[in-house]
Amino acid sequence: MRKGMLEYCILLLLKREPAYASDIIRQLQEAELLVVEGTLYPLLTRLKKDGLLSYEWQESTQGPPRKYYALTDEGEQFLQELDIAWGELDKTVNYLKTL
């Protein structure tokens, strides 16, 4: 369940703007979702392989070029499907809490 949530959270972040892996980790930590590079990089690679993400190398003023990840059109569509699934799950859980 955590893996699926992490995927969803990453896609939500990248919907706003392309991001560098360290920026993704920082934003997830700010949201109190602790993720390490050893977890993030394989997930980003898989999402790229699945066609949900693309990346672009950008020069950095503080070292070597950085790989910035962005959603593809397919990634945008997949995120919309996740939004629907999350809404349905949230509705079900909230209903069950009231019983």
Q: Is the pLDDT of residue 1 over 80?
A: no
Task: Classify domain 2-97 at the CATH topology level.
Answer: Arc Repressor Mutant, subunit A (1.10.10)
CB atoms within 10 A of CB 75: 22
The CA distance from 54 to 73, in Å, is 10
Mode of pairing for the β-strands spanning 53-60 and 19-20: unpaired
Question: The whole model's pTM is what?
Answer: 0.88
Q: Write out the two tokens for 43.
A: 């997930």
The CA distance from 17 to 39, in Å, is 21
- Measured at the CA of 28, the angle between CA 30 and CA 52, to 5 degrees, comes to 155
Give the model confidence (pLDDT) of 62-85 as tens digits.
889 999 999 999 999 999 999 999
Give the model confidence (pLDDT) of 36-62 as tens digits.
999 999 999 999 999 999 999 999 888
Domain spans of the chain, in order of start: 2-97
